[in-house]
Structure 1
Amino acid sequence: MAGTRYGDAPTVGVDIGGTKVAAGVVAPDGRVLARLRTETPGRSKSPRVVEDTIVSVVEELRAEAQVRAVGVGAAGFVDERRATVLFAPHLSWREEPLREALSRRLGLPVVVENDANAAAWAEVRTGAAQGVDDVVVVNLGTGIGGAVVLGGCLYRGRHGLAGEFGHMTVVPGGHRCECGNRGCWEQYASGNALTREARELVLAESPVAEALHQAVGGDVRRITGPLVSELAGKGDRACTELIRDMGEWLGLGLANLAAAFDPELFVVGGGVSEVGELLLEPARAAFARSLTGRGYRPEARVVAAALGNEAGLVGAADLARHAFPPSEA
């Protein structure tokens, strides 16, 4: 029968973003055995369109493996039962009973989890935090996502909404955030923040931004976080300074999280973190400067995530495996 070559009880993990659905068949040891990625079709982000896309990719993967459960990592607020997407900022999900809908259509057990929680769980199980019980994971993408693992268990909070670190206020009255507030952490330490700062530098006609100006032909709309990271990696001084500034904001936020959770380890992931030590070195320095009780307490380590873009689907699949043991699936 299909799937026996994959060994014991593979599950499917699905990672849903604002524009894509990535999925894979994942073995118990975290290996991705088959994978698919597709864009959300057309401009529609309606619940039914995204649901259809999820069903389609899972069904295609089931042709390759006899899977027994599905885990879905969704970018949004997921309730404590891991069944309903309460709110998704980049999709039209509002109080969406996703687990019930997918279970009915697929005929398989389904668990729904916040995407940052899923990615954090993958890092704990098979990635940079393997063997560590108290971990805070911070994902730097367009915004900032996060998750907390305490005592080896995901901490979701009473309503399932813990880990929204990006919306901690770090600058009262600061930059306006999409959430409606001002001065949120993600307005200073995220891909959007990096892009905004780079564009402002070019618009100010700063001579230090010449490489950025030339790279986009003077069209600031073409400046993106990945472009700034690329130029920084090539040694451009202005872009390196922008990354370092962002690292300092990152370190400040990590110090605040250390005061709240006292983890052994911080894992920094997401697309912006791919610049590595250009970001992490100033982050560690700012973290050490800002840490409450510095000099009189152990400092948490700050490391880069290990699993890259597949962390979300790997973690979702593993959470489904644990939610539905073989006797229940």
Structure 2
Amino acid sequence: MTRRLAPLTVGIDVGGTNIRASVVDAEGDVLDSVQAPTPHSARALEDALARSVRELSTRHHIAAVGLAVAGLISADQSTVRFSPHLPWQDTPVAARLSSRLALPVILEHDANAAAWAEYRFGAASGARNAVLVAIGTGIGGALLIDGKLYRGSNGVAPELGHLQVVPDGRACACGKRGCWERYCSGTALADTAIEMLATDPVRSVLARDVIRDPGSLTGRRVAGAAQDGDPLATRVIADFARWLGLGLGFVSDLFDPDLIVIAGGVSSSAPLFLDEAREHYAASVTGAGHRPLARLRTTQLGEAAGMIGAAELARSVAVTHVATGNGR
């Protein structure tokens, strides 16, 4: 089957706040999209997902569906074992949706889906061994070895965000303390600003806003203030860059990739921190000065990467489905 004739598929980013579904062609181009709020019950969420696919199916012939999910996915990519922000636990989501839609459905961890999209169409194209570090509310990680996604024995590797970098450090939603994502994420930017103000007050617009309403502080607000040269925000970004560089050193020690892609919402602020993070990375990796370093790149596909990757993974399922005589 030529790429020109390859089937259209739907990729869905199933987030804690919104679900975004897109029709994607074999070139990785998004042709059509719909979005809806994420319901809080499993039945309502599955209803919303089915509605999204059916709406897109009125305008396009869809061959399969891929879901990018922030959670633990079974090794056969059929079941959501656990997701901290979604109402699924040990739920056979693929079978349920496939039955309702009469289409093949596949699940993938959202970071894996994004990494696959970047490998097929974006920043990781041509890489032999690559790691994607998705930095947003937390940290998601994905590993490509010789062009294949590595999921581990049970489908949950690699959980980079929960590497412990500070024993007895900040509490993490995973139940541990001192996880990397607690010092290097959008959430961490706000927490670091509050901690810095508590130990070393500084005069700045951001500091005034934090004192007035600590709950209003977000990572995006910190990044914006740093862009404007705010003294507190600048210190916070420097701390973030240090933790990012140290973490990338751990990642290189573990996997020795030739490329690391920085993705996620925080990646849009990369000009503020990436050069400094690269310096910390170069100094902290084992054998510093005596080994090649991984190239650092930022995402090319942005927030659409998870949807594009899930759709591309679903395409291979669709082709197999047709080849085995199970297509409609």
Same structural fold, with TM-score higher than 0.5 when normalized by the shorter chain: yes
The range that moved more, 175-184 or 213-222, is: 213-222
Q: Is the 8 A contact 2:245 2:277 kept in 1?
A: yes
- Note if 1:56 corresponds to 2:47: no
What is the aligned partner in structure 2 of residue 164 from structure 1? 159
Q: How does 1:142-221 map to 2 (within 5 A)?
A: 142-202=137-197, 206-208=201-203, 210-215=204-209, 218-221=212-215
Letter in 1 for 2:180: W
Partner SS, residue 147 of structure 1: strand
Unaligned 5+ runs, structure 1: 1-5
Q: For residue 33 of structure 1, report the CA deviation from its aligned partner.
A: 0.2
CA deviations over 1:115-150 (Å, ceiling 9, x no partner): 111011111111111111210000011110010000
User: Secondary structure in 2 aligned to 1:207?
Assistant: coil
Check whether the contact 2:113–2:307 (CA below 8 A) recurs between aligned residues: yes
Amino acid at match of 1:68: A
Q: Which structure 2 residues correspond to residues 11-50 of structure 1 after superposition, within 5 A?
A: 11-41=9-39, 45-50=40-45
Match status 1:324 vs 2:322? no
Instruction: Give SS of 1:95's match.
Output: strand
Deviations 1:247-285 (A, max 9, x none): 110111111111111100000011112112212112111
> Hey, what's the Cα distance between the residues in 1 that align with 2:36 and 2:6?
27
SS in 2 for 1:317: helix
Q: Provide the C-alpha distance between the structure 1 equivalents of 2:286 and 2:241, rounded to a whole number of angstroms.
A: 18
Secondary structure in structure 2 of the residue aligned to 1:36: strand
CA distance in 2, matches of 1:308, 1:7: 26
Counterpart contact for 2:207–2:232, Cα < 8 Å: no
Q: What residue number does 2:100 align with?
A: 105
- Secondary structure of the residue that 1:91 maps to in structure 2? coil
In the alignment, the residues of structure 1 paired with residue 317 and residue 231 of structure 2 have an alpha-carbon distance, to the nearest angstrom, of 49
Moved over 2 A (4+): 199-205, 213-217, 326-329
- Partner of 1:292 in structure 2? 286
Structure 2: gaps spanning 5 or more residues: none
AA of the residue aligned to 1:18:
G
Residue 49 of structure 1 aligns with an amino acid whose one-letter code is: A
Answer whether contact 1:26 1:33 (CA < 8 A) is retained: yes
Shift of 1:215: 4.5
Alignment partner of 1:166: what SS?
A: helix
State how far apart, in whole Å, the 2-side matches of 1:51 and 1:35 are. Answer: 18
The residue that corresponds to 1:10 in the other structure is 8
In structure 2, C-alpha distance between the alignment counterparts of 1:315 and 1:179, rounded to whole Å? 26
Residue type of the alignment partner of 2:285: L
Which 10-residue stretch deviates more, 283-292 or 196-205?
196-205
- Matched residues, number: 320
Quote the offset at 1:58 in angstroms. 0.8
Deviations, residues 68-127 of structure 1 (Å, cap 9, x unaligned): 000011110001000000000111211010000000000000111111110111111111
Distance 2:119 2:165 in 1: 28
Report the 3-state secondary structure (helix = DSSP H, G, I; strand = E; otherwise coil) of the residue aligned with 2:212: coil
Query: What amino acid does structure 1 have at the position aligned with 2:31?
Result: L
Query: Which residue of the other structure, out of 127, 143, 148, is the alignment partner of 1:132?
Result: 127
**Mapped partners of 2:245, 2:115: distance in 1:** 19
Code of the aligned partner of 2:243: W
Identity %: 45
Determine if contact 1:273/1:279 at 8 Å carries over to the other structure. Answer: no
Deviations 1:21-69 (CA, angstroms, capped at 9, x unpaired): 011000100000001111114xxx2211111111111111111100100
What residue identity is the alignment partner of 1:231?
A
Letter in 1 for 2:128: D
Q: 1:277 aligns with which of 266, 271, 275?
A: 271
Partners of 1:7 and 1:61 in 2: CA distance:
19
Q: Which amino acid aligns with 1:20?
A: N
| Aligned mates of 2:37, 2:208 — CA distance in 1 | 31
| 8 A contact 2:202–2:232 mirrored in 1 | no
How far 1:188 moved relative to its partner? 0.7
AA aligned opposite 1:161: V
